[in-house]
Amino acid sequence: MTFLNSEKRPTGSAMLPVGFFISTLCLVLVAAGCNPDSDAREVTFDRGPFLENTVQSVILPAYSDYSSQCQALRNASEQCTAGQIDEQDIVSLRGFLRLTYLSWQHAALFDFGPAADRVLYLTTNTYPTDTSEIVAEISNENWTPGLPATLNSIGLPAMDYLLNHASAGEIADLMNSEPARFAHFQRLIDFLAEESSAVLYAWEHDFKARFVSSTGTEEGSSIGMLLNAFNEVYEQGIRKQKLGLPNGIMTFSETPQPHLVEAPFSETWSVELMHEALIGCENLYFGDRMQGDSQQIGIDDYLKSLGDFEYGIGLHNEISGQLSTAKAAVLSMQDPLGQYVVENQSATYDVFAELQSLVVLWKVDMMSSLGVLITYQDNDND
C-alpha cells in the first residue's frame, strides 16, 4: 500500500561551512560502511503490533493533545472581551500558547499521511515569521490562511509575535485600540484548531487502519513513511532549524543568526521547545513515555530483536545513551537563546555536535539495520 509522500519543507537557505560539511560527510560514510554483520540472522519481530502501538501510544496521543491545546487556546481567546482586554488576559493567552507550542513538538514528527495532505507542518510552524506581513494581514478582511503566500505569517510563530513582541500591558493596549489585531489573532488560532482537528479525525477514522495494515519496509510502507518523516523532521527541523542555523554552524561565515531561533519574541521558550522536541523523539523511539520501562513495543524493541550484536542491541544502547546526552546538552543552554548563541557560540557548537550524533545513529545506522530506505533528501549543501 502506497501512501502520499510528505511535502518537502524549507529549512532556510544557509549553507554548511566547508569544514563542517566534509567532516560530517566523512562521519556518515564511515558509518554507512559499517553494515550489519553479513551472517544470516532470523528476525522474528512482528511489525504489526509495533505499528499498532505506535499509533495508539504515540501518534494519536500526540495529535489528540495538540488538538486539545489548540482548542484550549481558542477557548481562552473567546473568553476575552474585545476592546476590554487587560494585561492578565494577555498573560493567560501566553500561557496557553506556550502549552500549544510544547504539544506541537510531539505532533510535528509525523509529517506524512493526513498531516502531509493538509501541509500541517508548514502551516503550523514556519519560522522566522514575517512581521510586516502579519501587520498587513490584520486589516485584510479577505485574508485566507493556508495559501502558499501566507506560510511566512501564520501559525504559532505569528501568534508568538502578536502576543510577545512587547509587554503584556502594551499588547493589551494595542489589541484594544486596534480591534482587528485581536480579531486576526483569533483567525490564526481558529485555523490551527480546525486543521489539527481535521488531521486527528483522519487518523482516527480511516488512516489508522491503512497504516497498521502496511507491515513491509519498502518505500511507501508505513514503517518507511514513519521513519523517513521522523528522520527528516529531526535532522532538518530540530538539529538544523532550532540550533544549527541560529548558532551559525551551518553557514559559510559561521556568523550567529539570533533572529532564526524558534519563538524569538517569547524570549524564554526556545530552549524548552528544543528539549521537548527531543522528548517527542524519545517517545517515538521507545514506543511510549516510559523510556522503555513498559511492555509497549517501540523502535528500541525492533532493534533489540535483531540480536546481541553491534547493529542490534548494541545500536539501541548507543541511541538510548545519546538521547540522554543530547537532552542534557540542550538544557545546558539558556534563554533567550538568540542572545545565548551570540555570547556563547562555541558552547552551542558542542550542543550541536551531540544532536548531530543522533543523525548518524538514526539516519545511517538504524535505517540500515532495519532495511528501510531513506527517501528524502536533505538540502544542507544547497
pLDDT at 11 over 90: no
Please give the Cα distance from 3 to 10 (Å, whole number). 22
Within 10 angstroms of residue 67's Cβ, the number of other Cβ atoms is 23
Residue 34 in any domain: the answer is no
Which residue from 195, 168, 166, 178 is spatially nearest to 135, judged by alpha carbons?
A: 178
pLDDT in tens, 241-260: 999 999 999 989 999 999 99
**If you average pLDDT over residues 168-175, what whole number do you get?**
98
Cell of 213: 495494515
Are residues 115 and 176 both part of a single domain? yes
pLDDT in tens, 222-231: 999 999 999 9
Distances (CA, A) of 95 to 185, 296, 340: 15, 32, 23
Are residues 232 and 167 both part of a single domain? no
* 295/370: higher pLDDT: 370
Determine the number of helices (DSSP H) and then strands (DSSP E) in the chain.
18, 0
Q: Which long-range contacts (CB under 8 A, 24 or more apart) does 51-55 make?
A: 51/211, 51/212, 51/214, 51/215, 51/222, 51/223, 52/212, 53/287, 53/288, 53/296, 53/297, 53/298, 54/226, 54/284, 54/287, 54/297, 54/298, 55/203, 55/208, 55/211, 55/212
Are residues 87 and 128 both part of a single domain? yes
pLDDT bin (cut points 50, 70, 90) of residue 4 is very low
pLDDT at 368 over 70: yes
Mean residue pLDDT of the chain comes to 89
pLDDT in tens, 349-358: 999 999 999 9
| Cα R_g (the chain), whole angstroms | 21
**If you average pLDDT over residues 88-92, what whole number do you get?**
98
Within 10 angstroms of residue 356's Cβ, the number of other Cβ atoms is 21
pLDDT at 38 over 60: no
Final residue before a domain boundary, out of 180, 215, 250: 215
pLDDT in tens, 119-145: 999 999 999 999 999 999 999 999 999
Distances (CA, A) of 129 to 158, 198, 298: 6, 24, 35
Cell of 322: 545519546
Final residue before a domain boundary, out of 215, 244, 278: 215
Are residues 284 and 304 both part of a single domain? yes
pLDDT in tens, 315-358: 999 999 999 999 999 999 999 999 999 999 999 999 999 999 99
pLDDT bin (cut points 50, 70, 90) of residue 296 is confident
**CB-based contact 250:244 (threshold 8 Å):** yes
Give the per-residue pLDDT at 29: 45
Using the CB atoms, write b or e for 313-336: b if 16+ within 10 Å.
Answer: bbbbebbbebbeebbebbeebebb
Residue 354 in any domain: the answer is yes
Are residues 261 and 152 both part of a single domain? no
The CATH number of whichever domain residue 89 belongs to comes to 1.20.1420.20
Cell of 127: 519560522
Are residues 111 and 126 both part of a single domain? yes
pLDDT at 43 over 80: no
pLDDT at 97 over 50: yes
Question: What are residue 354's phi and psi, to 5 degrees?
Answer: -70, -40
Give the per-residue pLDDT at 295: 74
Final residue before a domain boundary, out of 187, 215, 243: 215
Residue found by looking up cell 502576543 in the block = 163
Give the rounded distance of the alpha carbon of 214 from its chain centre: 24
Range of the domain at 202: 45-215
**If you average pLDDT over residues 188-210, what whole number do you get?**
97
Residue found by looking up cell 519481530 in the block = 45
Within 10 angstroms of residue 255's Cβ, the number of other Cβ atoms is 11
Reading phi first (left if > 0) and then psi (alpha if -120 to 50, else beta), residue 371 is in: left
Domain count, the chain: 2
Are residues 76 and 140 both part of a single domain? yes
* 37/154: higher pLDDT: 154
Question: What are residue 267's phi and psi, to 5 degrees?
Answer: 70, -10
Residues 6+ apart with CB under 8 A from 272: 102, 335
pLDDT bin (cut points 50, 70, 90) of residue 161 is very high
Are residues 230 and 366 both part of a single domain? yes
**If you average pLDDT over residues 87-114, what whole number do you get?**
98
Question: What are residue 235's phi and psi, to 5 degrees?
Answer: -65, -45
Within 10 angstroms of residue 88's Cβ, the number of other Cβ atoms is 11
pLDDT at 13 over 90: no
Are residues 201 and 262 both part of a single domain? no
Residues 6+ apart with CB under 8 A from 146: 119, 123, 154, 191, 195
Residue 16 in any domain: the answer is no
Residue found by looking up cell 489573532 in the block = 185
Minimum mean pLDDT among 35-49, 192-206, 213-227: which range?
A: 35-49
Are residues 50 and 132 both part of a single domain? yes
pLDDT bin (cut points 50, 70, 90) of residue 44 is confident
Give the per-residue pLDDT at 5: 35
Give the per-residue pLDDT at 360: 97
